[in-house]
Amino acid sequence: MRSLLQSLLVFACGLSAVSAYDWNASPINPPALPLAVRTPYLSAWLPQGLDGAGSGRALNSEWPTFWRLDETLGWAGLVKVDGKAYSFLGAPIVTGASFSKAVQTSSHASLYTSTQTVFAMTAGTVDLTITFLSPIEPDDLCSAAANDGNSHSVQVYSDITAEWLVADRSRAANWTTTTADDLLIHQTQLQDQTQYAETDDRVLQGSVLYALKNTTASTFQTGQDTLVRAQFINNGTLANTQDTDFRAIGSGWPVFALTQDLGSVSGTAPDPVIFAIGHVRDPVIQYIQPDGSFQARSYYWQSAYDSAASLISAFLDDYTNALARATTLDAQIRQDAEAISPAYADIVELSMRQSFGATEITISGEPGAWNTSDVLMFIKGERRNLNTVDIIMPSWPVFVYTNLDYCKYMLLPLLDYQLSGQYPNQYAIHDLGTHYPIADGHNDGQDEPMPIEESGNMVIMLLDYTQRSGDISMIDTYASLLDTWGAYLAGNMPFLADQLATTDFAGSLPNQTNLAVKGIIALEAMAVIKEYRGDAEAAATYHDTAASYLATWQQHGMSADGSHLTLEYGNDTTDVLAYNLAMDKLLKLNFIPDSVNDIQSAYYAANTGMLAMMHQWMIWTTMGTTTAVRDQFIEALHAWLTSGITQAPFGDRFMDDNGANSGNRGRPVIGGNLALYRGCQVRKMLHYGETNFDA
């Protein structure tokens, strides 16, 4: 259950001894470092890159940004050591008070892991460790220790601005500070809210919370940025006062500030100061019902906690354990990935928080009467669509690896909607609605049409879920949909009409070789589904169709000289990254002849331009290549990540501009980078913590 409780983060400032003073990023300096990345609306990054290969930017060199990069998130951190102030987070400008910048040093641990981003800094005679923790459960962390063996007086300060609500700084916000449950909690929201509405990828609804455990050593203040920060710099504490002159986000920049006095710090690190940040709203998702009415869905965590304050309190109390669990998970993920290669592990670790940061887990009901058997997960792609099928399919491995239930929770809303009969097309829907967070389906059938792509994806994901879970209830309950999609695939192949595939940016084409093989593998998957359901006759029919289409596909999709697969049937001057061959590996069907994979593998090796085609599918592609070619793909992706060419959170497309301007940024699809985990290729296994990694 804990893993379903999301939307809050903890951020801790720890003080501890660090000996090296040059700053080397381990494992790499990625384009952007995740700081607080948890939901589509709680997504704070520290841009790196752009200064050349291996370059990085310090935590206190600029403001964090929202995932789009064009929206600053005011988040400041200051520390006073023996009366002298240093900044460690953000780029505050404070008139009327002077401070220095702490110096970012080599981290003794990794700069980032799967769940944490960790900075080491020196503030005069004290070393700081600043940890941002976004567990694959909710949370973010700061600690301190003297570096000269003496005792020092240390106070830690942090604030946020109302930029965490929306990008438009002319919008009016209001705020309160409360002291419930032994906490100091600042809460801010827009004065004028609209349920289920987005502007600039931000939701015009809900509140941002910034919290600290209240002790005799903590203080708070709300007010104008320069005044509040100067108060801390000059005095080391805040005034415990609230500014009630509610105003626009950028008007006299209200900040929500918290401090903790660590007292006298010597070589031994005291307990860290832990700040929690969260974005909450209720309702969360508007979801279409079988009768066309709409259901208001809430965050899953509301079924376990009666308020955001009690959730935050529980997490702050549990943070030592949460950090330990996160660190164990980090080590497991790193170890599993290093079985492939260290470069692969660097890629995978950077993929985890971003994937989960696009999701929200919801429940129906109301306080006191939550329906805990009705859990649905919603996922936002870069654009505003909900549960886009060709976003879920490429992301699939990260959810398979962490918890197979997530896979079910993402598919259920798509399945229930289509089972209700409201969607008119005979193929699988592309997405559940064009305006996150409104899941209103497409009763007019006018979703972006990708008939073979999405029908194939749904069949493949349902079989994969069934194989791994051993739970045949999904293919039973939705058997009629599977039959509809199976019939569509059989009736519209092996020659394909002019249509879009997941590569919609490239436009439509008839007879796409790579798209066709997904559909053909899905027909073979239908045969297995029919076997599971005890219908041998239907299984044989599907299998025969798939085998016959495969023979036709090999004739038309292979170049005349047999050297490579083409982009479209019969056009020998074209080639393609044939990532859909991986679906056969995913499902362990052994249906595609090895010769096809061998040909493609040799072709990629000889045509190195193929190695950098479209990295959302790069790692998937290597499921069918030789180990040498697999490593070439991994190195190409790793080289791009470390090239300093972009500051965007892990992009997933680069064609002709080397990805410098990739519009596809910060998307969950990089969850597909986990496709090589052995755990992702094994049937009937799963759940983190059990034996999911043994072949």
Please identify, using beta-carbon distances, which residue of 54 and 250 lies nearer to ligand NAG. Answer: 250
Q: Residue 156 Cβ, how far from ligand NAG at the closest point, in Å? A: 15
Q: Residue 260 Cβ, how far from ligand NAG at the closest point, in Å? A: 11
Please identify, using beta-carbon distances, which residue of 215 and 328 lies nearer to ligand NAG. Answer: 215
Return the DSSP state at 613: S
What's the Cα-to-Cα distance from 564 to each of 206, 236, 572, rounded to whole Å?
53, 68, 9
Q: Residue 208 Cβ, how far from ligand NAG at the closest point, in Å? A: 12
Contact between 242 and ligand NAG by CB under 6 A: the answer reads no
Q: Residue 296 Cβ, how far from ligand NAG at the closest point, in Å? A: 13
* Part in contact with ligand NAG (CB under 6 A); list of ranges 189-197, 303-311, 393-401, 683-691: 189-197
Please identify, using beta-carbon distances, which residue of 213 and 630 lies nearer to ligand NAG. Answer: 213
- DSSP secondary structure string for all residues of 101-127: EPEEE--SS-SB-SSEEEEEEEETTEE
Q: Angle between the 342-356 and 627-641 helix axes, to the nearest 10 degrees?
A: 60
Which of residues 191, 264, 320, 658 is near ligand NAG by CB under 6 A? 191
Q: Which two tokens mark 58? A: 């310090």
Q: Which residues touch 547 (CB under 8 Å, ≥6 apart)?
A: 524
Which of residues 24, 98, 179, 590 is near ligand NAG by CB under 6 A? 179
Q: Residue 190 Cβ, how far from ligand NAG at the closest point, in Å? A: 7
Q: Residue 221 Cβ, how far from ligand NAG at the closest point, in Å? A: 10
Q: Residue 177 Cβ, how far from ligand NAG at the closest point, in Å? A: 8
Which of residues 317, 374, 483, 531 is near ligand NAG by CB under 6 A? 374
Q: Which residues touch 557 (CB under 8 Å, ≥6 apart)?
A: 513, 516, 517, 565, 566, 569
* Part in contact with ligand NAG (CB under 6 A); list of ranges 208-216, 518-526, 591-599, 623-631: 208-216
What's the Cα-to-Cα distance from 459 to each of 118, 232, 389, 556, 657, rounded to whole Å?
41, 59, 11, 24, 35
Q: Which residue has the tokens 């097309």?
A: 425
**Interface size with ligand NAG, residues (CB under 6 A):** 27
Please identify, using beta-carbon distances, which residue of 228 and 323 lies nearer to ligand NAG. Answer: 228
Phi then psi dihedrals of residue 160, to 5 deg: -125, 160
Phi then psi dihedrals of residue 398, to 5 deg: -70, -35
Which of residues 95, 170, 216, 293 is near ligand NAG by CB under 6 A? 216
Contact between 574 and ligand NAG by CB under 6 A: the answer reads yes
Q: Residue 171 Cβ, how far from ligand NAG at the closest point, in Å? A: 11
Helix or strand (DSSP H, E) at 45: strand 42-47
Q: Residue 191 Cβ, how far from ligand NAG at the closest point, in Å? A: 5
* 492 and 452 Cβ atoms separated by less than 8 Å: yes
Q: Residue 590 Cβ, how far from ligand NAG at the closest point, in Å? A: 27
User: Which among 194, 285, 324, 242 has a CA at the least distance from the CA of 7?
Assistant: 285
Q: Which residue has the tokens 């490593």?
A: 631
* 464 and 437 Cβ atoms separated by less than 8 Å: no
CA distance linking residue 527 with residue 393, whole number of Å = 20
- DSSP secondary structure string for all residues of 122-179: EETTEEEEEEEE--SSS---EEEEESSSS-EEEEEEEEEEGGGT-S-TTSEEEEEEE-
Contact between 215 and ligand NAG by CB under 6 A: the answer reads yes
Helix or strand (DSSP H, E) at 128: strand 126-133
Q: Residue 251 Cβ, how far from ligand NAG at the closest point, in Å? A: 16
Site residues for ligand NAG, 21-50, by CB under 6 A, read none
Which of residues 189, 466, 559, 647 is near ligand NAG by CB under 6 A? 189
Which of residues 129, 237, 466, 621 is near ligand NAG by CB under 6 A? 237
Contact between 498 and ligand NAG by CB under 6 A: the answer reads yes
CA distance linking residue 210 with residue 554, whole number of Å = 59
Please identify, using beta-carbon distances, which residue of 274 and 669 lies nearer to ligand NAG. Answer: 274
* 97 and 225 Cβ atoms separated by less than 8 Å: no
User: Which among 107, 119, 110, 136 has a CA at the least distance from the CA of 9?
Assistant: 136
Q: Which residues touch 484 (CB under 8 Å, ≥6 apart)?
A: 426, 427
Q: Residue 488 Cβ, how far from ligand NAG at the closest point, in Å? A: 17
Contact between 570 and ligand NAG by CB under 6 A: the answer reads yes
Handedness of CA 665, 669, 675, 677 (dihedral sign): positive
Taking the mean position of all CA atoms in its chain, how far away is CA 387? 14
- DSSP secondary structure string for all residues of 255-273: EEEEEEEEEEE-SS--PPE
Contact between 662 and ligand NAG by CB under 6 A: the answer reads no
Which residues sit opposite 9 in a β-bridge?
277
Please identify, using beta-carbon distances, which residue of 175 and 396 lies nearer to ligand NAG. Answer: 175
Q: Which two tokens mark 526? A: 């239908």
* Part in contact with ligand NAG (CB under 6 A); list of ranges 230-238, 379-387, 645-653, 666-674: 230-238
Q: Residue 246 Cβ, how far from ligand NAG at the closest point, in Å? A: 6
Site residues for ligand NAG, 527-556, by CB under 6 A, read 556
Contact between 466 and ligand NAG by CB under 6 A: the answer reads no
Please identify, using beta-carbon distances, which residue of 170 and 573 lies nearer to ligand NAG. Answer: 573
Contact between 193 and ligand NAG by CB under 6 A: the answer reads yes
* Part in contact with ligand NAG (CB under 6 A); list of ranges 149-157, 173-181, 317-325, 421-429: 173-181
Q: Judging by beta carbons within 10 Å of its beta carbon (0-12, 13-18, 19+), is residue 507 exposed, middle or buried? A: exposed
Which of residues 321, 371, 446, 627 is near ligand NAG by CB under 6 A? 371
Edge-to-edge strand order for the sheet containing 42-47? Answer: 32-39, 42-47, 65-66
Contact between 221 and ligand NAG by CB under 6 A: the answer reads no
Contact between 176 and ligand NAG by CB under 6 A: the answer reads yes
* 429 and 454 Cβ atoms separated by less than 8 Å: yes
Binding mask 477-496 for ligand NAG (x = CB under 6 A): ------------------x-
Residue 284, number of CB atoms within 10 A of its CB = 25
Site residues for ligand NAG, 394-413, by CB under 6 A, read none
Q: Which two tokens mark 187? A: 């809460």
Which of residues 20, 324, 339, 497 is near ligand NAG by CB under 6 A? 497
Contact between 569 and ligand NAG by CB under 6 A: the answer reads yes
Residue ranges in contact with ligand NAG by CB under 6 A: 174, 176, 179, 189, 191, 193, 214-216, 231, 235, 237, 240, 371, 373-374, 495, 497-498, 510-511, 556, 569-571, 573-574
